[in-house]
Amino acid sequence: MAKDYVVGIDIGGQSCKLGVVDARGEVLAQSVIKANASTDAQVIVNELAAGVKELIVKSGKQGQIRGIGVGAPNGNYYTGSIAFAPNLPWAAHGEIHFAQMLSKACGDIPVSLTNDANAAAVGEMTYGVAKGMKHFIMITLGTGVGSGIVIDGKVLYGSDGFAGELGHTRAVRHNGRLCNCGRSGCLEAYCSAIGVARTAREWLEATEEPSLLRDVQEITSKDVFEAAVQGDALAKRVFDFTGRILGESLADFVHFSAPEAIVLFGGLARAKEFLYEPTLKALNDNVLPLWRGKVKLLFSQLKESDAAILGASALAWEL
**Candidate ranges 43-51, 106-114, 160-168, 304-312; the one touching its own copies (CB under 8 A):** 160-168
Q: How far is the CB of 214 from its own copies (least distance, A)?
A: 30
DSSP string, 277-311: HHHHHHHHHHS-GGGTTTSEEEE--S-HHHHHHHH
Site for its own copies in 78-117 (CB under 8 A): 84
Q: How far is the CB of 310 from its own copies (least distance, A)?
A: 24
Which residue type, as a one-letter code, is found at position 41? A
Phi then psi for 232, rounded to 5 degrees? -65, 120
From the list 97, 1, 86, the residue with the least C-alpha distance to 45 is 97
Pick from 51, 67, 144, 164: which binds its own copies (CB under 8 A)?
164
Question: Is 281 a residue that touches its own copies (CB under 8 A)?
Answer: no
From the list 141, 161, 114, 85, the residue with the least C-alpha distance to 262 is 141
Residues near 303 by beta carbon (within 8 Å), at least 6 away in sequence: none
Pick from 14, 63, 108, 159: which binds its own copies (CB under 8 A)?
159
Question: Is 241 a residue that touches its own copies (CB under 8 A)?
Answer: no
Site for its own copies in 114-143 (CB under 8 A): 134-135
Question: Is 237 a residue that touches its own copies (CB under 8 A)?
Answer: no
Q: Indicate the residue among 165 and 277 with the shorter CB distance to its own copies.
A: 165
Pick from 30, 46, 157, 203: which binds its own copies (CB under 8 A)?
157
Instruction: Determine the Cα–Cα distance for residues 215 and 168; give it in Å rounded to an integer.
Output: 32
Is residue 70 within 8 A of residue 112, CB to CB? The reply is yes
Question: Is 248 a residue that touches its own copies (CB under 8 A)?
Answer: yes
Pick from 162, 203, 276, 299: which binds its own copies (CB under 8 A)?
162
Pick from 80, 128, 259, 311: which binds its own copies (CB under 8 A)?
259
**What distances in angstroms separate CA 94 from CA 97, 100, 204, one per listed residue?**
10, 16, 40
Instruction: Determine the Cα–Cα distance for residues 309 and 318; give it in Å rounded to an integer.
Output: 16
Provide the binding-site residues for its own copies, judged by CB under 8 A.
84, 134-135, 149, 151-152, 154, 156-166, 168-174, 181-183, 248, 251-253, 255-260, 286, 288-291, 294
